Amino acid sequence: MAGVEGFTEKMRIIEVLKRRKRRFFKSLVLALSVSLLTSLASTMGYFEGFEAKALDLLLWARGQIKSPEIVLVHIDDRAFRNLEEKQPLPRSYLASIIEVLAKSGAKVIAMDIELKVKTNPREDELLLKAIQAASENGVTKVVPVYVIRPEKEDDGKVLYSRTSFFSPKLNPVAGFANAPIDPDGFVRQMPLAVRGADGKVLPSLALAVLARYAGYDSARLEEALNQEEEIALLLPEWDKFQGRLLPQVTPLSFRFDDIWKINFAGAQGSFMAIPSDPVASLSKQNLSLAADNPFRGKIVLVGATFGESRDFFPTPQGLMSGVEIHANIIHTILSRSQILGAQRWVALSLSLLFALVISVLLSLFRPVMVTILGFIAIPLLLIPLSYLAFARLGIWVDFVTPLLAIRLGGLVGDLLERKHIRKSLGQYVDREVADQIVQQEESLSGQKRVVSVFFTDIRDYTTLCEGSPPEKVVGILNELFAMMTQVISRHHGMINDFIGDAVMAVFGATKNNPDHAMDAVETALEVQEGLARLNEEWKNRGYQPIRIGVGIHTGEVIAGIIGSEGRKKFTFTGDTVNTASRVEGLNKEFSTGTLITRETLEAVNEKFNVRRCGEVKVKGRDKPVEVFEVLGPEPVP
């Protein structure tokens, strides 16, 4: 006996392992397919918006970092009001700021103010003289911006024309300030250089500022930018680990059409900022500036931050002025902390690894649990690793693609699982119940409902079985149950169980149906009519006619899943179910076809032709039940 039990247990284990193996390979094929599809979609740019938001999250999580070599001079709302809100800004005011910054020992003075047109000749001359006077080794330290506009395309690439306020004689190192806007309106990236309509490479403001810091003049910078496709410049570098500038310039290589993701140092206010009015007022005072003033040896950016300038843009770190965005771009180049996207194969490898892990988990646990575990792994494992790679190495590891692969794979797996469950459950319970079980509605855990319970039973079933071969009895039952199923379903009822020759159905169980009692009684009448037609067909086949009894009671039940861990069942319990079953049995005593209770009759507003049969004491109930025979669809006048 022990040997038989051991063999049985061994076979059970083998069957479980086979089932898990099938589930593993099925899940693996699905997960790999989804991973490849999501990686392909990511490569084609369909997830670009999601990936950008994920990178925004990492920037926010990293917090603010310092770049002490950059100082901002804000022309703010107060300064704008003092200038009587004149635009363009008075050139004499800009000249006074440059004069003070030059005296303070600023290393480079970047003017993030577009000088599009000439104004008063005297004012313009003051500005030009101030720029020329702020010189080092005969080259001005002022780096202005020039305006670029797309002019034409060459092999699909846009070429730009530029407009400069300055004469060829002055010819300062200058750059463009235009930054591309992402589809969601955010500024996240910046080209280091673009190709001009004349074929020459034009530097961005940030690149021009750092080139001037390294001692480039306009001619030398132009020569370096236009030598070959791969551009190499010797620029200053900030060592973020030692917190200082390296003593020597270091090479920076890039292509003219490279677009860098900006590694924002933080939100608006991350850089030291000084209002412009106190700076400009110093030019009117013949005072020597302290050697340790905040501008000495620094990169100073002058820009408008007053509201009327409209020079504010959404960024991953919030709304930010244009001058602060350029400070962040300079910081990115200076610290060599450009955000580099990891190779696509890294994201694909992560997706495939997660696919393998999830397939193993799916062979052991339910799909819902695996999906939950996958989403737990993202914040606990993948996001921290991505953050470390970003914060330490400046490498952006795409965790969006694995996340989407997990979610999409989970959805597809759930859909396949639900389809399989619906198909299986549909053979045993009503379709609406199968849908509820799949969706795991709270109502299935046990909920009170007012329903009409419908029981039917074949009269003299034992005699039928004794006098007929089994296949004949089964055929009769199948035809009868098929007819009853159609009628019950048509009246929004739900067959809860087949009990031998009996059928239990419930009306008003899975949806809000105030007419459930009416539907139940109409079903009883149609079932009796359908049985009459079947009896005519069976008579032609030589079968004896059969009779059925129907009992209906309306009341409160508990609807939900009951059972043990090994076997569960969705059913209805309570006094209403027991009473309906007992009422059906009374048909033998009263020689009737369909009996309903007083509660059901009141629920249908006495809209049927009935005959009172009296009050009857039924088993399991202290209070007698008043029953009525249903004779037809309408009462007799």
- Cα–Cα nearest to 509, from 494, 487, 528, 524: 494
Task: Count CA atoms within 13 Å of residue 465 on its CB side.
Answer: 9
Provide, rounded to the nearest whole percent, the portion of the chain with pLDDT above 90.
Answer: 26
Tell me whether strands 259-261 and 193-195 are parallel, antiparallel or unpaired. unpaired
Per the CB < 8 A criterion, the answer to whether 554 and 576 are in contact is yes
Rounded Cα distance, 272 and 280, in Å? 17
What confidence tens digit (pLDDT) does each residue in 48-81 have?
A: 555 555 555 555 555 556 667 899 999 999 999 9
With cut-offs at 50, 70 and 90, classify the pLDDT of residue 2. very low
Look up residue 597 and give its two tokens. Answer: 């209770």
Helix ranges restricted to H, 121-239: 121-133, 205-213, 218-225
Higher confidence at residue 29 or residue 429?
Answer: 29
Q: Per mean pLDDT, which of 23-37, 79-93, 137-151, 559-573 is the most reliable? A: 79-93
* pLDDT recorded at residue 413: 56
Q: Which of 239, 183, 250 is nearest to 210 (CA)?
A: 250
| Residues 53 and 396 sit within 8 Å (Cβ to Cβ) | no
Rounded to whole angstroms, how far apart are CA atoms 294 and 69? 10
- Give tens-digit pLDDT for 72-122: 999 999 999 999 888 889 999 999 999 999 999 999 999 998 887 778 889
For residue 472, give the nearest of 389, 542, 422, 522 by alpha carbon: 542
Is there a contact between 207 and 193 (Cβ–Cβ < 8 Å)? yes
Q: If you average pLDDT over residues 341-348, what whole number do you get?
A: 54
Lookup result for tokens 């009306």: 507
**Domain 436-632 class, CATH top level:** alpha beta
403 three-class SS = helix
Q: Is residue 201 a contact partner of residue 256, using CB atoms and an 8 Å limit?
A: yes
Mean pLDDT calculated for residue range 226-238:
84
Say how far apart CA 167 and CA 243 lie, in whole Å: 40
Taking the complete model, does pTM exceed 0.75, yes or no? no
Query: Above 60 in pLDDT, residue 564?
Result: no
Overall average pLDDT of the 513-541 stretch: 90
Cα distance between residue 546 and residue 551, in whole Å: 17
DSSP 183: T
Strand, helix or coil for residue 1: coil
In terms of C-beta density within 10 A (0-12 exposed, 13-18 middle, 19 or more buried), how is residue 208 classed? buried
Q: How far apart are CA 378 and CA 54, in angstroms?
A: 12
Q: Each residue of 137-156: pLDDT tens digit?
A: 888 999 998 878 877 666 66
Closest by CA to 205, choosing from 173, 246, 232, is 173
Q: Report the pLDDT averaged over residues 161-166.
A: 67
> What is the tally of helices (H) and strands (E) in the chain?
19, 29
Q: Tell me, what's the pLDDT at 448? A: 79
Residue type, 566: G
Q: Could you give the residue ranges of the DSSP H alpha helices within 134-275?
A: 205-213, 218-225
Measuring CA to CA, how many Å separate 330 from each of 106, 144, 436? 16, 15, 59
Q: In whole numbers, what is the pLDDT of the chain averaged over residues?
A: 78
Q: Which pLDDT band holds residue 601 (cuts at 50, 70, 90)?
A: very high
- What span, in angstroms and rounded, lies between the C-alpha atoms of 445 and 44? 46
Strands 157-163 and 142-154 turn out to be antiparallel
Give me the residue label for tokens 């860098």. 260
Residue 1 has what pLDDT? 39
Q: Rounded CA gap, 344 and 350, in Å? A: 10
Q: What are phi and psi of 635, to 5 degrees?
A: -70, 155
Q: How confident is the model at residue 549 (pLDDT cuts 50, 70, 90)?
A: very high
Least confident of 206-215, 304-313, 355-364: 355-364
pLDDT at 8: 46
Give me the residue spans of the domains in the chain: 2-62+340-425, 70-334, 436-632
Higher pLDDT, 570 or 52: 570
* pLDDT band of 187, cuts 50, 70, 90: confident
Helices (H), ranges, 455-567: 461-467, 470-490, 516-540
Chain segment 436-469, per-residue pLDDT in tens:
555 544 444 557 788 999 999 888 776 666 667 7
Answer yes or no: is pLDDT of 4 > 50. Answer: no
Residues in contact with 237: Cβ distance below 8 Å, sequence separation at least 6, in sequence order = 245, 246, 249, 250, 334, 335, 336
**What's 5-72 look like in SS3?**
HHHHHHHHHHHHHHHHHHHHHHHHHHHHHHHHHHHHHHHCCCCHHHHHHHHHHHHHHHCCCCCCCEEE
pLDDT of residue 178: 83
CA distance 504 to 577: 9
**Could you give the CA distance from residue 446 to residue 573 in angstroms, rounded to a whole number?**
10
153-162, 172-181, 275-284, 415-424 — which is least confidently predicted?
415-424
CA distance 27 to 414: 11
d(CA 147, CA 162): 5
Beta strands in 386-525, from DSSP E residues, in sequence order: 395-396, 447-458, 493-499, 502-507
Contact 469, 542 (CB under 8 A): no
